[in-house]
Structures are given as C-alpha cells and as structure tokens.
Chain A
C-alpha cells in the first residue's frame, strides 16, 4: 500500500492526468439529463455574475443600436413634419384665396389599452385615459394603422371604446382612389363591409378606404381598411364590398384618441350622434 502511494507521489503528473482522462471520458458517457443537470447547477450558481454581466453588455449594445435607429427615424420624421408644415401653410393660403370658411386641426392623446371587452359590450376596449385627459364621448380612436373605434363612455381616468367591429358602429367612408362613398360597418369575424355603394361604382380589390368626414365623428382621411373583396350581385342596386380593417383591432396595445378643432374654436368639436 505504502509503495503504491509512493508510486503515485513519484508519478503525480501521470496519475493526475489518468484520473482526469477517466473522469472526462466517463462524464462524456453519462446520460444527457445528467449533463444538463451539471450544466444548470453551474449556470445558476457560479456563472450567475457573468451571465448578468453578459446580459447587461448585450442589452447595452442593443440599446445603443436602438437609440441610433430612433435618432435616424426622428430626423426623418422632423424632415417630414417640416414638409407637412409647408404644405399646411400652402393649404391655408389656398383656402384663404378660395374663401373656405372652416379649417380643422387634429391632434391626438396617447392611451394604453388596459382592458378588453365588458360584459355588456363585447366589442369594446378600455383605455387608460379619461376625463382627466380631456376625453369626451364620441371622440374617434385610432392606432398607428387606422381607425379603432370611438369613445363610448368616459370615467375620470379611463374610457370605454366602441370598436369599429361592433355591429352598432357605422362610419362614413370613401374609396381613397375613386372617392366613391359608403357606410362602413361590421361584417362579423373581425371584417368590415361598406354598404350603400352603387352597382356601377368604381371600387376594386386593394383600394384603400378612408373616413369621409361626413357625420362629424371621424375626421376626413383616417385609414379604415383595404378592400379585400368586391361582390357584384345578379340583381339589386348596390355592390358588396368587404374590407379588412387597417388597425390591429384584436390586439391593440396603445391607441390615440383624436381631437379635432375647428380653427378659432374650442377643442372637442366632435359632436355627433351614436353613429358617424
């Protein structure tokens, strides 16, 4: 026994190497679950400071990239705003020259969606802005892509929005290309339809449908949807126009409540009935 220990001592390097070699090979032959267990034990304890460091490092890198991208977008947006301001000034001059009496100015208030649906009104959402932000009944609500609906009821810090897919909401709209007008309402299944479109009207698949501004709730030019199908009946006076909503009706996260103001008057001029 003593001679064996002496032998090990004299050949410590070889002994250590053989020990390590055997350990390594045995470890490589263990079941995958065991190896995963060893790995996760290491990751959760010893490596934790470095994983936090690594995560922070990558987050910092991503934030920097995101920041640069947003700066670039901001500059582009500013350029567009300047161009639009110039167009607005030109518009004002022309309106003045043509002696148009009314001019509408639009601005929005951002609100988060804090609830979806109420027992009484399944086609509605609840937002985080209420009368404290100046919200009143019947103001139109949009997201980045288009019309979401309109304000149905207002509380101090929240408001219920009637979605455009609610069968009781109707929006005056028109084809952005041919200017053909109609009434947009729910077609069920998250789709919309445009009614009262004459059979000889020029409406094609892919056409953009925008609000027409008639009725006083939705200002002119808000995106409503895209024509997905046009059905011409054998008989009758009107064609069937199916529309896919532009807005993300089923998964809204943030929405904008639209205020419109006739220049020279107070805000919240959206006085209308139940429907547009």
Chain B
C-alpha cells in the first residue's frame, strides 16, 4: 500500500512537471513526454495489468488539459504501456539501442493514438511530421539517458519479468 502511495506521489509530480514546467520547447513546440517515461519505469516495478491502470490514471490527468480530445490520453498511454508489456516480456532492454528504440516506438504509438481523438484530423499528416515525430525522437533520446540512469540506480528493471522471478 505504501509502495502504491509512493508511485502515486511520483506520478503526480511527473504529471505536474509535464504540464507546468516541461512545456514545449519555445519556437519548435516539441516536447519530452515525461509522463510516458515515468510510466515506463513504473511498469517495470508493478504488474502489467496494474501498469495499464496507472497509465489510464495519468492519461485522465493529462486529458483534463485537452478537453476536446478527452479520453485520448487514457487510451494512448494505456496502449503504449500494453505494447511495452509485450516488448518487455520477450526482450532484454538492457541493450541501449533497443531501449531507445522501444521508447521511440512507444512515443510514436502514444501520439498517433492521441491524434485519432484530436479534433484536428484534417492536418493529421502535417501535425505528425511537424510535431509528433520530432517530439518522439526527443523523448527517445532523453528517455534513453533517464532510463540508463534509472538502471544504474536500480529503479528501472530492463530485463523480462521472469528473470526477476527466477
């Protein structure tokens, strides 16, 4: 129970930072998805099903800032964490390149799904190329650094869950 309260507190802080301070880079409007990175770390410490619920909770909080596309972040974040679960079950994410590629795929999936809920459907391709792709790359780059540090600190478990259970 205490552990879950700590997770909630950390997620709360990460969401707050994402919304208030980690605003899009001035001029370019690219952003780093800190919440996704937080959920990636969290999912390595909780069960897969529970991680999806955490993702939904974080998504709901983000949705409060995107009223026209409400529900989009819930589905997008949960799907990304579901994909992570599938990848994590079968791969050892200790390899840096694989870790960065995984974060990139998750960020892309998250953004593409969110776009489906967004009311700006007419400019889907433009938005994807102009904002989503660079933001996903940026998230992968920063995420790789953060996750490598998290591995060193023992916060993030990059190997499949079975290895820890064995």
Interchain CB contact (< 8 A) of A24 among B47, B65, B75: B75
Q: Is A250 an interface residue (CB 8 A)?
A: no
Measured between alpha carbons, how far is A50 from B60 in the docked complex, in Å?
A: 16
Nearest B residue (CB) for A53 = B20
Interchain CB contact (< 8 A) of A13 among B21, B61, B74, B85: B85
Complex interface: chain B residues within 8 A of A46 (CB): 12, 61
8 Å CB contacts to B: which residues of A27-70?
27-30, 32, 35-36, 38-39, 42-43, 46-47, 49-51, 53-54, 57
User: What 1/0 mask marks residues of chain A from 8 to 37 whose CB sits below 8 Å from any chain B CB?
Assistant: 000011011100110111111110100110
8 Å CB contacts to A: which residues of B30-73?
47-50, 52-53, 55-56, 59-61, 63-65, 67-72
Complex contact B55–A54 (CB within 8 A): no
Complex contact A36–B67 (CB within 8 A): yes
Complex contact B56–A23 (CB within 8 A): yes
Measured between alpha carbons, how far is A25 from B12 in the docked complex, in Å?
A: 23
Interchain CB contact (< 8 A) of A39 among B47, B52, B70: B70
Smallest CB separation, A61 vs chain B (Å): 11
Nearest A residue (CB) for B78 = A20
Known A24-B59, A36-B67, A46-B12; contact A54-B20, beta-carbon cutoff 8 A:
yes
Q: Would you call the interface of chain B mostly helix, strand, loop, or mixed?
A: helix
Smallest CB separation, A56 vs chain B (Å): 10
Interchain CB contact (< 8 A) of A20 among B53, B61, B65: B53
Interchain CB contact (< 8 A) of B63 among A27, A49, A53: A27
Known A17-B82, A32-B67; contact A12-B19, beta-carbon cutoff 8 A:
no
Complex contact B75–A25 (CB within 8 A): yes
Known A24-B75, A26-B71, A27-B63; contact A16-B53, beta-carbon cutoff 8 A:
yes
Complex contact A27–B70 (CB within 8 A): yes
Complex contact B49–A39 (CB within 8 A): no
Known A16-B53, A46-B61; contact A28-B16, beta-carbon cutoff 8 A:
no
Interchain CB contact (< 8 A) of B75 among A21, A42, A43, A50: A21
Complex contact A20–B64 (CB within 8 A): no
Known A47-B64, A49-B16, A50-B16; contact A27-B74, beta-carbon cutoff 8 A:
yes
8 Å CB contacts to A: which residues of B72-123?
72, 74-75, 78-79, 82, 85, 117
Measured between alpha carbons, how far is A53 from B85 in the docked complex, in Å?
A: 34
Known A12-B48, A53-B16, A57-B20; contact A42-B61, beta-carbon cutoff 8 A:
yes
Measured between alpha carbons, how far is A39 from B85 in the docked complex, in Å?
A: 29
Known A12-B47, A17-B82, A54-B20; contact A25-B52, beta-carbon cutoff 8 A:
no
Complex interface: chain B residues within 8 A of A26 (CB): 71
Measured between alpha carbons, how far is A39 from B117 in the docked complex, in Å?
A: 17
Complex contact A28–B49 (CB within 8 A): no
A-B contact pairs, 18 of them (CB 8 A): A12-B48, A13-B85, A16-B50, A16-B52, A20-B55, A20-B56, A21-B75, A21-B79, A24-B72, A24-B75, A27-B63, A38-B70, A39-B63, A39-B64, A39-B65, A42-B61, A57-B20, A57-B21
The 6 closest A-B pairs by CB, nearest first: A28-B71, A12-B49, A54-B20, A24-B74, A50-B16, A24-B75
Q: Name B residues whose Cβ lies closer than 8 Å to a Cβ of A.
A: 12, 16-17, 19-21, 47-50, 52-53, 55-56, 59-61, 63-65, 67-72, 74-75, 78-79, 82, 85, 117
